Every structure is written in C-alpha cells, then in structure tokens.
C-alpha cells in the first residue's frame, strides 16, 4: 500500500518507537493520529507533524473507540494501525522476602501489552473491513510490537515475555483471519533501542547493553524501527510474519 494520503493510527505515538513511527509515516504523507495515555506527549508529536492527538488507554474499549472515531472524523477511516504502546516489567517469581510475586503485576502487563493490542486491532479491523479495497484487494495493514524477549526473555521477564510471546503467537492466526478482508498483520520484535525508557538507565549500563549487540554494537535508533514499520506498510507480500530487528542480539539469561 502506498502510504501517501492514507490515515494511520499510532498507539504509544507520544514517545520512543511510536513517536519515531508517527514522524516517519507523516514524512511519507500519511495523515497520522497519535494515540497515547500521555496526552501532552501525543499533542507535542501531533503538533510537530501536522497530525491529530487523542488521549487513549488501549486497555479501555470506550477510550479506544472514541479515539478511533475521532481520528476517522479528522482524517477518514484508518488503513494503517501501528500498535506500539506497551509497558515493561521485571519481577522475580519468588521475591527476596520469599513471597510469591503479586499476581496483579503479571496481569497488568498482559492487559496492556497483549489484550490492549488485541483490543485496538479488533476495533481497527472492524472499521477497516468496511472500506473499499485498494490494489490487490488490500484494505489495510496493522503491526504489533513484540520484543526479542518473546524468544529470549531474561530473569524476571515472565510477564513481559509472556505478553510479547502472545503477540508473536497471535500474528499468523490474525493474518489468516483477516485475509478475507484484505488486511495484513505483521509483527516487529525489536532488540535494544535508544528510547526515553532506555535513556533512564545509567550510561555504563547502556554502554554494556550496546556492546552485547554483535553488529552494529550500539543501541537501535527509533528511526530504524520506524523505517521497518513503514516498509511493512508498502510491501504487500509481507504478511503473518514476525521480524526481529536486533543486530543479531540474543539476550543472555540476565
């Protein structure tokens, strides 16, 4: 699909990988709606790229539907959904105090990263399936943002890895399910990227993480993620696939 002129939704578009993707899609001519729980950040990005900002919690159906409808009123129904909103977590199953990890922490990460992504995707797909088909019968495309932690999660990453592994597992059935509507589904599994999240870590920790990447031995740039996300939109034969974007990194146990 050509990006030029189409409406796009970017969840988590107020920061990091989502912000870079919103900027790249706008540069390529998309009408971009930035959806984020952090409205201030969403507004900052949207103002910069001539897009629209919506306060949106992907775990809340009402809030999501309002944002999708608001974006459609501003730009027309979206043909592109970039699911990038997500949260991290690290928690030992058995804590230093000998107690079991709180179940709520596990449930929260699954709720945002996995269920929230599914929630945005199903609402987007229902609206997108009603649009006229483009070339090849294509109606739209969506991307999930997993992580290399879906495959080589580290100690304490049970919830995060399970949530991202869930996205990996959902990719093919979703692509098969939505094929009849001409909607493609692909997943990007990023390695270590230099986002505000990562920049909170002390400099030496960032350097040692960067050195663990075979090549190039540096953190990924959010623009590199955005480049791949945009490519997936434009390459109609990419479907039902998970792509690692990690400089050949394989995470160590800890």
Ligand X SMILES: NC(=O)c1ccc[n+]([C@@H]2O[C@H](COP(=O)([O-])OP(=O)(O)OC[C@H]3O[C@@H](n4cnc5c(N)ncnc54)[C@H](O)[C@@H]3O)[C@@H](O)[C@H]2O)c1
Contacts with ligand X, residue ranges (CB under 6 A): 11-12, 14-18, 36-38, 41, 56-59, 84-88, 112, 116, 145, 147, 190, 192-193, 195-198
Q: Which is nearer to ligand X, 128 or 251 (CB)?
A: 251
| Contacts of residue 226, Cβ cutoff 8 Å, sequence gap at least 6 | 17, 20, 21, 23, 24, 25
Q: Which is nearer to ligand X, 58 or 127 (CB)?
A: 58
CB of 98 to ligand X, least distance (A): 30
Active-site residue among 54, 160, 193, 225? 160
- 67, 83, 85, 209, 248 from 112: Cα distances, Å: 17, 11, 8, 26, 27
Residues 46 and 251 sit within 8 Å (Cβ to Cβ): no
Closest CA to 164 of 242, 61, 58: 242
Q: Which is nearer to ligand X, 28 or 87 (CB)?
A: 87
| Contacts of residue 75, Cβ cutoff 8 Å, sequence gap at least 6 | 7, 31, 33, 52
Alpha-carbon span 20 to 88, nearest angstrom: 19
Residues 64 and 56 sit within 8 Å (Cβ to Cβ): yes
CB of 234 to ligand X, least distance (A): 21
- Coil, strand or helix at 164: helix
CB of 61 to ligand X, least distance (A): 12
Active site residue 118: no
Q: Which is nearer to ligand X, 195 or 239 (CB)?
A: 195
Alpha-carbon span 71 to 52, nearest angstrom: 7
Alpha-carbon span 70 to 35, nearest angstrom: 11
CB of 82 to ligand X, least distance (A): 10
Q: Which is nearer to ligand X, 35 or 181 (CB)?
A: 35
With 0-12 / 13-18 / 19 or more C-beta atoms within 10 angstroms meaning exposed / middle / buried, residue 42 is buried
CB of 132 to ligand X, least distance (A): 29
Residues that are catalytic: 160
């Amino acid at each position: 699909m050509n990006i030029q002129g189409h409406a796009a939704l970017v969840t988590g578009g107020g920061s990091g990988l989502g912000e870079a993707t919103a900027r790249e899609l706008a540069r390529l001519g998309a009408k971009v709606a930035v959806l984020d729980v952090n409205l201030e950040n969403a507004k900052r990005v949207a103002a910069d790229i001539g897009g629209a900002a919506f306060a949106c919690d992907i775990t809340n159906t009402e809030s999501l539907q309002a944002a999708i409808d608001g974006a459609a009123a501003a730009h027309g129904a979206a043909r592109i959904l970039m699911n990038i909103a997500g949260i991290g977590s690290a928690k030992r199953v058995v804590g230093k105090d000998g107690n079991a990890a709180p179940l709520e922490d596990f449930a929260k990460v699954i709720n945002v990263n996995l269920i929230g992504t599914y929630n945005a995707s199903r609402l987007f797909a229902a609206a997108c399936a009603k649009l006229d088909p483009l070339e090849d019968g294509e109606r739209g495309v969506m991307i999930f943002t997993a992580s290399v932690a879906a495959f080589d999660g580290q100690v304490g990453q049970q919830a995060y890895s399970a949530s991202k592994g869930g996205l990996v597992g959902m990719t093919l059935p979703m692509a098969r399910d939505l094929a009849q509507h001409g909607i493609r589904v692909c997943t990007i599994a990023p390695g270590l990227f230099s986002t505000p999240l990562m920049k909170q870590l002390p400099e030496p920790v960032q350097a040692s993480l960067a050195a663990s990447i075979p090549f190039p031995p540096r953190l990924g740039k959010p623009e590199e993620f955005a480049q791949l996300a945009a490519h997936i939109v434009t390459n109609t034969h990419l479907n039902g696939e998970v792509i690692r974007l990690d400089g050949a990194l394989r995470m160590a146990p800890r």
